Structure 1
Amino acid sequence: MSKNTSSVSEKTLKVLFLFSKHKSLTINQIVDLTEMNISSVYRIINTLRNQEFIMLNNERDYILNPAVILPLYNKVNTDIRANIKPSLKRLANSLNASVFLSKDHKDNQIIIVEKEDGPGNLRWVESIGFTYNIPTGTAGKTHLAYILKGMDEHERESYLENLKLVHYTDKSIVDLKILLEDIKEILINGYCITEGEHLEEVVGFSVPILNPNSGVCMYVLTLIRTSNEFNIEEKQKIIISMKEEASRIANYII
């Protein structure tokens, strides 16, 4: 591949990836976001339209074409799930716990994308595709930590204004100031531990799965046990094991 062809491909992908953050875009918006000249943007848009990756909506804005994108997304998602399953099984069996993988979803939610139950007494009843409101449980708090990390001050304030803190148990955090202190600790330590904040008598561990190149949180890996199955002396073993598997998953995904 020539250097020029490679450059065109990179620019095309750059434009396509904009639609992962924006539901619809105009030509001028794409020019502003990419800082490309308008002629280049028109050429790229025409290429993407010809390949049916994007289309015009009723407002004459450009949007992703679901007929093409959704099958592609489902294929990639299925491949990812198949390849991360061994990591979840190793954790579930070696640590005698239930584990699940989650990612950011729409409307301040996270969604479970894969799970594995261990031989212990606790079974995670929610199925793949189940959603939680952020910052529910250890997974929700971990997602929130890395969402806020990627925001500027204005975005952060706006996001927190709309955040709903729910009283699930007597240990649930409903004070924003306390929650933000926990968020700070999560980012410092690289993991989150909760006990009884979402479900009584349940201990949760979460670690982020970070893109090694950008540091962006792609997924969150979570392990849960009943309180009577948890021994504080196992804390470091659990965290180390989870971080090792998180690293394996990250290397596969990218």
Structure 2
Amino acid sequence: MTIQNESRRPMIEAIGLSKFYGPFAAARDVTFSVGEGELVAFLGPNGAGKSTTMKMLTGYIAASEGEARIAGHNMMEDRIEGSRRLGYLPENGPLYPEMTPFAMLSFFAEARGMTAARKKDRIEAVVDICDLSSVIYKPTSKLSKGFKQRVGMSQALLHEPDVLILDEPTAGLDPNQIRGVRATMKKLSETKTILLSTHILQEVEAMADRVVMINEGRLVYDGDVEGLRKRGDNDLDEAFYSLTQDATAQDATAS
């Protein structure tokens, strides 16, 4: 049984998503929904199919089977409209190293057709949210990993999307930088729907309303953090291990 809040309008929907590369299934029949205003952690070991599923949800790659919807828009048939509602930060998101954050944000704003006044307002807003004022005119190639992640986040937020899909936004960051990202996520979750991929179980406890976990391309858990903890005798690490060590766990779901 998939756990979701039926009273919330679904903003992210994976409906039987599968992705095949020849005989290999990177994702198989993945189905879950994220309701409006939820912050859901998307978990799984390396190679589980998290990034593949997120790329299908965003329309970045086509599903072999199934359907991905963002705010009701089919991301294969109506991707432009869906993308207007979506902010996507891929793992190691592409940045233009020779450009400054300001130049990059200006470029993206113009590519999205923003007026000069709106561009100015939105750049000021995301620079404030992501705390980029000290590096806004420095070449991106000269920035630390933490600041590069913030620049990637700022472009994902630039057009005021309702939905955020974030793939490992704290990867490679130090504890202080992770703390800053957590604070930003909590603030954003007040007004946005967020699907957040992470390997760090402490982040799940600190931020998430719900956990969706996949292993070997299949859904193995969908439920709250406390339910996940109980699967590992009140230990999240043990719960993660028990659900991902063995492919026979693939049909387990939250009770």
Verify same fold: TM over 0.5. no
Higher strand share: 2
Using structure 1 for the length normalisation, give the TM-score. Answer: 0.30
- Structure with higher Rg: it is 1
